[in-house]
Copies of this chain bind each other. A is one copy, B any other.
Amino acid sequence: METIFTTENLYNLLSGRIPSAFNRALLNQFKANGINLTKEQWSILAVLWKKDGCSQQVLADETYRDKPSITRLIDHLEKEGLAERRPDKKDRRLNLIFLTEQGRSLEEGAMKVVDQTVNSAVRDIDPEVIQLVRDTFIRIYNNLETKK
């Protein structure tokens, strides 16, 4: 295989430096706007704002986390008063997760900040290039999932 890339170059691309920087920036913007959320909490809320009342397993699938991680994130959201568990009446194995009024009220402000941060990150970059980057990442993801 002939490429102009060293393993190290590619590793840096794949290993997550940019996402770290992005997540840091997002967190700072939250803080600067008086929104008291970790990026993990926000990622859960982002699902609930669309699918209020879904199960923990759905949250795990949507946010690419395992079940224990969700258990603890929900614990934390409950403690903060942003969401609550309610047992499913039909299937008693399930917890359904509902936003509280407070959890709902964060949506507008948080989404505005995410929007600004995302747009700031990709400013001056050709949308077609962004599209290509996305497509490439999907291919990489599939390559990783389907092993070698």
Contacts and interface: CB of A to CB of B under 8 A. Distances in A.
Copies in the complex: 2
A21 B141 contact: yes
Contact of A127 (B5, B25, B133): B5
A1 B22 CA distance: 20
Q: How large is the interface on A (under 10, 10 to 19, 20 to 34, 35 or more residues)?
A: 35 or more
B127 A143 contact: no
A14 B5 contact: no
Interface stretch (A75-83, A87-95, A97-105, A115-123): A115-123
Contacts of A122: 10, 140, 143
Given A120-B147, A140-B122, A130 B10 contact: yes
